[in-house]
Structures are given as C-alpha cells and as structure tokens.
Amino acid sequence: MCGIVGYVGSAQAGPILLDGLERLEYRGYDSAGIAVLSPEKGLQVKKAKGRLKVLSALVDEGRAVEGTIGIGHTRWATHGQPNDVNSHPHLSQDSRIAVVHNGIIENYVEIKEYLIGKGIRFRSETDTEVVAQLLAYHYRKTGDLMTAVYRVLHRIEGAYALGILCADMPDAFIAVRKDAPLLLGYGQGCSFIASDVTAIIKHTREVSYMEDGEVAVVKADGIQVYDALGQPVEKERCTIDWDVSAAEKGGYAHFMFKEIMEQPEAVRKTVHPRLKDRRVVFDELKVTPDEIRGLQRIVIVACGSSYHVGMVGKYNLERLLRRPVETMLASEFRYCDPLVDEHTLVIVISQSGETLDTMAALRQARSLGARILSIVNVVGSSIARESDEVLYTWAGPEIAVATTKAYSTQLVLLDMLGLYFADILGSVKPEEYESIIEELQALPAKMEEVLENTEKIKYLASVCFNHNSIFFIGRNLDYALGLEGSLKLKEISYIHCEAYAAGELKHGTISLIEDGTLVVALCTYAPLFDKSLSNIVEVKARGADVVALTDDSHAEELRKTVGNVLTIPDTHTIFKPSLGVIPLQIFSYYMALQRGCDIDKPRNLAKSVTVE
Ligand code: F6R
C-alpha cells in the first residue's frame, strides 16, 4: 500500500527520498512523487505515474530538485485513477503547502464541497488534496501552521499518516498519525519519518512509533512531538535490531526466493528462545493458568495467508486443546455481530500488524470484552500495540508481497501457543507432548532438507506453467495447506486456481475436471491418506494431470498411482503444513518465473492492506 518517507538534514533530500521510496516499493504502488524545499528554489514537487524509475528519470535521480528537506510518497490508488495528477504530494492552491498521505479521508467529499464554496479550485480526484487545501485555508485564516494543523485534524475523519511540508517553514516538516503507521527516525544531524522502517534503516536504527493523534515537528537537530491537545510528549526510542542487508536481496534474483530460503532460520529464531527444558515457555505472556483454564472458546481472525495460518490452527489447536476453535476472515468477522465475550480468547494474526480489516476486527472483539492475543511480525505495529498480549514472530523484514517466511513463523508460533495451553490444561498426554517438542526442535533442520531438493519442483513448474486452471485438493490439515498453496500460486503467477476439501469435490466442482486439468493433491495428513488416494483416482479417471505431495513414509505407496510425487520428511502431524508449504511456495515461484511475472510485486497487490 502507500508509503511515506521524509528527510531533513544537511544532505540533498532528493536522492535520499528516492532511495527510501525504492525500499518501500515492495508494499505495492502505482505512482510516486517527492516534494523538496530550498530557500532559493522554493517548493518543488515532482510526481509520476508508474514505476519509481519514471520518477527517478524525471528528477535526474534526485539531482534536479534542490534542498535538504523533503517528503516522498508511493501511491496505491483508492480515490481517483493512478495518474500523474492524482499522485502525491498534493499541493494547496497557492502551491505553498505539500502533503503526502497514507490512508483514507472518509469525509473528504463534504470538505471538498465546502472549500469549493469558498472559491478553492481542486486539481485532483483524491481525498488527500482536501488536506492540503484545508490546511492552507486555515493557515491563511490563522497565520499559524500548527494551529491550522490542529484545526484540520479536528475536521477530517478516517485513517491517515501525513507528511506536511510548507514553503514558509524551511527547516522543519510536520508529521501526523491516526490509524495508519508512521515512525520517526533519529539520525546524526538529520531526522526522518517513514511509514515503514525499511525506508530509513540505511540511515538510522533509532526510531520511535507515533501514536494516534500525535503531531511531530521534524527538524534536522531533533523531533518534537505533541499530543492531540498540543501538549509536548516525550517519545520512547527503540533500536531496530536487524540491519540493512536483511532488507536487500543478497544475491537472490527475487526477495520471495530469498525469503523462502530464510524460513529455517526464521523458524529457529521464533522457536528456540521459547523452548526451555523441553517445554514451551512464553515469558512475554501475562495471561495466567487460571485464565487459560477459564477460556471457553478461541476465535482466530486474520486475512489472506494469515487467515490460512488460522485455518491450520483450527485443526491443530482443537486437536491439542479439545476446546472449540473458530477461524474467521477479519473482513467478515467485523460485520457479523460476532459471538465473543470475556470468556473468549481472540487470536489476531498479522504479518504487517497494520491490516485494516484485521485491526477493525480486533477493536470490535475488544469492545465485546474478549481478551486479544496477537501474533505479529512488525514490532510496534498498530495491531501489536492495541492487543492485550503480543507474540512476535522473528521472521525479520518480509519484502516480497507474497508472504512465505512470515506464514511459516506465524504457523509455528500458533502451534507453540497450542502446546503451551495444552500443557496447562493437561489436554495432551505427556508422551505426545514430548514427541511434539522433539519434532518442533527438529523442524528447522527438516525445512532445510526440503529446501535442498528444489530441482524436481523446478522441473515440474517447467512442464506445468501453461495450465490455466489448477485445483488444490486435500483433507483436514491438507485442505488448510491447499488454501495457502493455491493463494500463493494465483497471486504471483496469475493462474486461476482453487483449493477444495477433497471430499467436497464430488458435490459440484468435479464437473470442472477434464482432460489435462492440473490437480495438486496434498496427501501429507496420514490418518486420511487412503481417502485422499481415492480422490486422486476420481480426478485421474476424469482426465486430470496430478502432482501429489506426501511424506517419506507414504511416497512409495503414492507412486503406484501418481507419477509426479513431491515429498517432505516425516514429522508429527501438526507440523506437516509447516513442511508441506515449502514445496508449494517453490512451485508457485517457478511457475511465476516461467510465465515472466513480476514475482516480488504482483499486479494489483500491496504488501500491507490499510484500506477496507
Ligand atoms: C499473501 C499475503 C496476504 C496477507 C494478507 C494479510 O501472500 O501476503 O494474503 O497475508 O494481506 O496481511 P497481514 O498478515 O499483514 O495482516
């Protein structure tokens, strides 16, 4: 989704802003722009539809704009077409105030009408332009920029992170946040704002996260933050503990492949600190054993791949806890008058911690009295901050739009949470607990084993990439795994594919199976192996080409029916999806590569979905 970066210091701002925007490219965007201010040249705004290289050429890699203070933006269109005019920064009518904005101003239509009534002319179709125009309007009336900012904040509704540059304030810009992420960066003789730390990590690792309603005045020698009432606020700083190389490709052709390969290490980092004396220990959780015993229900809410983690979690947690677990799409949960109360634990899963639907579901569940535990990758993100409890996945920055290592770390953390609760509830026999812990410890090494055998998957992709309709089938955990496999494939290769519970095919969908339809049959869930085999026979009888996935123990049996069999090492049932997802990610990657797709930045998609 949209990205913001801002810089003030002694260096030329243009190249720094472009570099920051480049690092935000992964979030998805359709146009970009920068505003740079200098006493001699005044406020210079350059923006362009399309990839960042178009903007970069327009400003001669930043050299064509002069000044040591500026703000930049990558836009993902919501209000108005992606074109040069609708790109940010947006200017006030007198061209003295420039604004970049992430989020949506919900009441922009009425504000626009009001301002048009006052004789103000608008250039774009965006909601953002009203902020620039309203700000200039109040600035003209009051003569004080900060007063004007607060007036605007009282008037606008919706979600916003704003960067504001004014020609009359050459040594500072203003940053504002409400329901959209924005952080402040403290450098040596320079300061930054960014919607995502990757934009500025090259320059500083010292940051603080803005809270809703805060306004920051950002100068080269320091940043002053004020609360919603204009009172000064002391911000706590924190140090980002990963470095710039974590957000670079490191020799891989794509971030997605790099992140696939990083999974064993990410899982190791997520698991090992939470294992002590062969037990799962969550020092970071405040929930007491009595509170855990008092829980009547668990509801998992999330979107996309995080929701698929929750689908696996439903099977695994119910198995471990023998308590009802329901997994819901956050976008549905928020509108279904959900049945949650103080006896419900709501587990919120989000890589970015900023997904708007997930955030709205969290707030709704909290207002109904539920306890909120979130599983989040981005430290300090909105979802993390609004939850009662947070378990961080230590996946590091995930740049490719299609999630891989975040999915894997979310999944293992959810399994560990189930084990932790099961230990307290006594719902798993000690021998089984022991054997699960053993497999948990072995999981990163087994993931490495899967990653050593990518050649066969690459070959399969080279013979399958021309298919334009693919089905993933599986039962129980394999069904949940298929949902993720199918999403991964469709989002990066643009091939139409669907995941079906294998037993459900015959209730309608099997009519779509014909000569040459590709079916990816997932058979890692041993208790239902024979049933899955029958489903394979059914689709083969109707002409389907089948690629199957199973564990080492069942490979020989499966090869009697299917020619193309991929395997994962044997492991405990609950970890089958953790191993099984890797060949599916690699298959999607090579399919997309064969089809010449933009793997890290698939069309129409954004890394962090901060609109409804
Ligand atoms: C797919 C993908 C998305 C996200 C979804 C939720 O590869 O990445 O489906 O899983 O947009 O995002 P988060 O986890 O950031 O809330």
**What domains, with CATH codes, occur in the chain?**
3-240 (3.60.20.10), 255-451 (3.40.50.10490), 455-594 (3.40.50.10490)
Q: What is the mean pLDDT of residues 321-332?
A: 97
Q: What is the mean pLDDT of residues 290-305?
A: 96
Number of other residues whose CB lies within 10 A of the CB of residue 60 = 11
Q: Which of 351, 487, 488, 489 is the pocket-test mutation for ligand 1 (most atoms within 8 Å of CB)? A: 351
Element (H, E) at 135: helix 129-142
Model pLDDT, residue 104: 85
**Residues 6+ away with beta carbon under 8 Å from 584:** 481, 484, 485, 488, 489, 520, 549
Ligand 1 near 610 CB (within 6 A):
no
**Maximum pairwise Cα distance, the chain:** 81
Ligand 1 near 196 CB (within 6 A):
no
Residues 230, 150 contacting (CB under 8 angstroms):
yes
Cα-to-centroid distance, 351 and ligand 1 (Å):
7
Cα-to-centroid distance, 304 and ligand 1 (Å):
5
Ligand 1 near 89 CB (within 6 A):
no
pLDDT in tens, 49-63: 998 999 999 999 999
Ligand 1 near 304 CB (within 6 A):
yes
Cα-to-centroid distance, 352 and ligand 1 (Å):
8
Which amino acids are annotated catalytic? 2, 607
Q: Which residues pair with 218 in a beta bridge?
A: 173, 223
Within 13 Å of residue 321, how many CA atoms lie on the same side as its CB? 26
Cα-to-centroid distance, 607 and ligand 1 (Å):
7
Q: Which residue has the higher pLDDT, 249 or 568?
A: 568
With a pLDDT cut of 90, the percent of the chain lying above it is: 88
Q: What is the mean pLDDT of residues 558-578?
A: 97
Q: What is the mean pLDDT of residues 234-248?
A: 83
Ligand 1 near 403 CB (within 6 A):
yes
Whole-angstrom Cα Rg for the chain = 26
- Among residues 492, 511, 485, the alpha carbon closest in space to that of 579 is found at 485
Cα-to-centroid distance, 425 and ligand 1 (Å):
32
Residue with tokens 């989000």: 350
Atom of ligand 1 nearest to the CA of 304: 9
Which segments of 125-248 are extended strands (E)? 158-166, 172-178, 183-186, 191-194, 206-209, 215-219, 222-226, 232-233, 238-239
Q: Classify the phi-psi angles of 266: left when phi > 0, otherwise alpha if psi is within -120 to 50, otherwise beta.
A: alpha
Atom of ligand 1 nearest to the CA of 383: 16
pLDDT in tens, 457-508: 999 999 999 998 999 999 999 999 999 999 999 999 999 999 999 999 999 9
Ligand 1 near 355 CB (within 6 A):
yes
Model pLDDT, residue 478: 98
Ligand 1 near 387 CB (within 6 A):
no
Ligand 1 near 484 CB (within 6 A):
no
Give the Cα separation of 187 and 416 in Å (integer).
38
pLDDT in tens, 3-16: 999 999 999 999 99
> Is a pLDDT exceeding 80 seen at residue 247?
no
Cα-to-centroid distance, 52 and ligand 1 (Å):
23
Residues 349, 310 contacting (CB under 8 angstroms):
yes
> Is a pLDDT exceeding 70 seen at residue 242?
yes
Ligand 1 near 362 CB (within 6 A):
no
Cα-to-centroid distance, 379 and ligand 1 (Å):
16
Q: Which of 609, 610, 611 is the pocket-test mutation for ligand 1 (most atoms within 8 Å of CB)? A: 609
Residues 365, 343 contacting (CB under 8 angstroms):
no
3-state DSSP assignment of residue 391: strand
Which residue's CA lies nearest to atom 3 of ligand 1?
Answer: 304
Which residue's CA lies nearest to atom 16 of ligand 1?
Answer: 350
Residue with tokens 């304030």: 169
Residue 98 main-chain phi, psi, to 5 deg: -120, 140
Give the Cα separation of 65 and 15 in Å (integer).
9
Which residue's CA lies nearest to atom 5 of ligand 1?
Answer: 304
Count of residues for the chain? 612
Cα-to-centroid distance, 608 and ligand 1 (Å):
7
**What is the average pLDDT value for the chain, to the nearest integer?**
94
Q: What is the DSSP string of 524-552?
A: --GGGHHHHHHHHHHHHHTT-EEEEEEEH
Atom of ligand 1 nearest to the CA of 407: 10
> Is a pLDDT exceeding 90 seen at residue 334?
no
With a pLDDT cut of 70, the percent of the chain lying above it is: 100
Q: What is the mean pLDDT of residues 243-258?
A: 83
Atom of ligand 1 nearest to the CA of 378: 15
Model pLDDT, residue 1: 67
Give the Cα separation of 194 and 74 in Å (integer).
11
- Among residues 321, 365, 364, 310, the alpha carbon closest in space to that of 343 is found at 365
Give the Cα separation of 522 and 505 in Å (integer).
14
Q: Which of 390, 393, 403 is the pocket-test mutation for ligand 1 (most atoms within 8 Å of CB)? A: 403
Q: What is the mean pLDDT of residues 359-382?
A: 94
